[in-house]
Amino acid sequence: MGRPTLFLTVGLPCTGKTTAARRIETAHDALRLTKDEWVKALYGPGNPPLAGAVIEGRLIQIGLRALELGTNVVLDFGLWSRDERSALRRAAADLGARVELHYFTLTPSEQRRRRDRRQADAPHTTWPMSDGELVGWAAGLDVPTPGELDGSEPLDAPPAGFPTWHAWREHRWPPSAH
């Protein structure tokens, strides 16, 4: 059995991450962990920000355990910040797992078209997103570098105030909503 792989989907809403995560799940016998499915199941139409971070953290714990057991994992979260991706790359490396980043991007007009289609066809799978939110989120995305995508770029040091990526991960993805 080869080393397990952690697949990370990176991109804004409505760019194809979940569709690709489903393909990766099937093609690589991977455990697919999609945050939005859990938030929808637990909160319905609500989308509380702290709950999303806690759910991501719990899914990451499950994913890291699955990697330890030799199972491929695909995290379907968006992972907009380089720090998030670096923390997960470090965690996977610590377990001896490989990492593949898959970055998804679309023109703003195609993203809005997909958003509108999703809202019309499957509103139970999504939340309303305004054009302004899409623009704001795009401005906040740390686009992966070519070296980050192909794995050739070394990991950054953890952000100031955090001695390790594990400590940063615990801060970014708290264990509870309290």
Assess contact for 79 and 169: CB atoms under 8 A. Answer: no
Question: pLDDT tens across 138-175, in order?
Answer: 999 999 999 999 999 999 999 999 999 999 999 999 87
CA distances from 26 to 19, 23, 31, 32, 153 (A): 11, 5, 9, 9, 28
Report the first-to-last Cα separation within the chain, whole angstroms: 40
* CB contact set of 25 (below 8 Å; sequence gap of 6+): 31, 32, 74
The pTM for the full model equals: 0.91
DSSP 116-140: HHHHHH-GGG-----HHHHHHHHHT
Sign of the torsion angle spanned by Cα atoms 88, 103, 154, 79:
negative
Q: What is the pLDDT of residues 5-42, one digit of tens each?
A: 999 999 988 898 999 999 999 999 999 999 888 888 88
What local confidence, expressed as pLDDT, does residue 33 receive? 97
Residue with tokens 């499915």: 37
Both tokens of 9, joined, read: 């989907």
Helical (H) or strand (E) element with 101: strand 98-104
pLDDT at position 50: 73
Q: How far apart are CA 130 and CA 105, in angstroms?
A: 18
Which pLDDT tens digit goes with each residue over 58-95?
999 999 999 999 999 999 988 999 999 999 999 999 99
Give the tens place of pLDDT for each residue, 51-65.
888 899 999 999 999
Task: State residue 39's pLDDT score.
Answer: 85
